[in-house]
Structure 1
Amino acid sequence: MTNGEMTEKRRLPGFVIGAIVAIGFGTGFIIGNSGGLTSPWPLILRVAAIVAAVVLLIATFRAGRRVGPSTTAAAPSSSFMGRGYWLVVLVEAIALFGGLFVINGVLHRSEVAVAWVALVVGLHFYGLGRVWHTPLYHWLATGMTLLAVAGFILYFAGASAAAISLVAGVGSGVALYLAVLWPLLQSRRPA
């Protein structure tokens, strides 16, 4: 076993947990933000999201099983939820809920709330990528941040709330799914 394979196997338990979280939030982004589209698109997107989530979960658990339980103990559990992680989560929570309070309660612009959520969640992946030394999270952060900015641009251009939700919300859900899919595809490549 090469050093790269060993490192990948040590990180797999963290990947499984992260994949489950990403799949859950990705599904939430898609289901929660597709409702404003014209029929039959909400149903199509929601069914597709559920099917994709099930496929990704099965692939994630199969990948975890291929590595086997003996490597789980090698996972660095203390760094997963260490001080850096909690600092990122604290800043995210303050920005998320503080911003939503201003957007919804002060400015009364609920149509851009999804863009704000996508922005904050996207930016928090920069911090997690640094804390967990996971460059993939920087790609995810960039993608979600760009989708959020596109949502704000759509708002200022006069687009509908459904269009903003599609780009910033459904798009972010797809980005989260892709962040799970990419490592799964990479793990299947020969060393």
Structure 2
Amino acid sequence: MTNGEAGQRRLPGYVIGSIIATGFGTGFIAGNSGGLPDPWPQILRIGAALCAAALIIATFRTRSASTAAPASGPAPAVEPVLARQAMGRGYWIVVAIEAIALFGGLFVINGVLHRSEVAVAWVALIVGLHFYGLGAVWHAPMYHWLATAMTALAVAGFVTYAAGGSAAAVSAVAGVGSGVCLYGAVLWGLLRARRGLAV
């Protein structure tokens, strides 16, 4: 299989993953920038919205370009099958584990420990770890890099709190930082897809 074929065969998972990552990235930045001094919350939220729109448009344009022209024919034929595989059993198992860990942990953090200041760090941790699972399911190593970066930011958020940092500081490190990482991962995948490399 050539590099172009590999990138094309992995594209359905890439498209779904890019949309999810862009959505979470926007949520992380918009939802966790409020504690920063003015005018940074407004700047970051407007910037996040513009980046999200650009990334989603670019993702679908890349997908269309990869499936439109080839005279060989196999790619359009296998595209529906690959799309179903991207959202198959492995994907839903990862999502189910993520949901249980996410909401179970938030219940303990907010309702039992009363440490809502670190809730965003927990969210970043679980979302980051779930990308290890998606990387395995979709055979996309780039998600492992994203998982590692987000996990590191989540740990940094917990350390910030333990060192006496404010909730705003934790949100900036674990929340806004994770959003930037998610955008970066989408952009990285986009550039690789346009070069015909596996994403």
> What is aligned with 1:154?
160
Residue 190 of structure 1: CA displacement?
A: 7.4
Q: In structure 2, do the counterparts of structure 1 residues 83 and 190 end up closer, same or farther at CA, with 3 Å as the change threshold?
A: closer
2:123 is the counterpart of 1:117? yes
Q: In structure 2, do the counterparts of structure 1 residues 178 and 72 end up closer, same or farther at CA, with 3 Å as the change threshold?
A: farther
Contact kept? 1:85, 1:131, Cα under 8 Å: yes
Report the identity percentage.
67
> What is aligned with 1:185?
191
For residue 74 of structure 1, the aligned residue among 43, 61, 78 is 78
> What is aligned with 1:17?
16
The structure with higher relative contact order (CA 8 Å, sep 6+) is 2
Question: Superposition pairs for residues 1-191 of structure 1, below 5 Å?
Answer: 3-69=2-68, 71-75=75-79, 76-189=82-195
SS of the aligned residue for 1:134 comes to coil
Contact kept? 1:13, 1:72, Cα under 8 Å: no
Q: In structure 2, do the counterparts of structure 1 residues 73 and 104 end up closer, same or farther at CA, with 3 Å as the change threshold?
A: farther
Residue 109 of structure 1: CA displacement?
A: 0.6
Letter in 2 for 1:157: A
| Structure 1 unpaired stretches of 5+ | none
Letter in 1 for 2:78: A
Residue 18 of structure 1: CA displacement?
A: 1.7
2:62 & 2:185 partners in 1: Cα distance? 15
The size of the alignment, in residue pairs, is 190
Q: In structure 2, do the counterparts of structure 1 residues 72 and 158 end up closer, same or farther at CA, with 3 Å as the change threshold?
A: farther
2:63 & 2:194 partners in 1: Cα distance? 12
SS of the aligned residue for 1:26 comes to helix
Letter in 2 for 1:121: V
| Structure 2 unpaired stretches of 5+ | none
Contact kept? 2:3, 2:196, Cα under 8 Å: no
Normalising by the residue count of structure 2, what TM-score does the alignment of the two structures yield? 0.89
Contact kept? 1:100, 1:113, Cα under 8 Å: yes
Residue 72 of structure 1: CA displacement?
A: 4.4
Letter in 1 for 2:109: I
Residue 186 of structure 1: CA displacement?
A: 2.1
SS of the aligned residue for 1:68 comes to helix
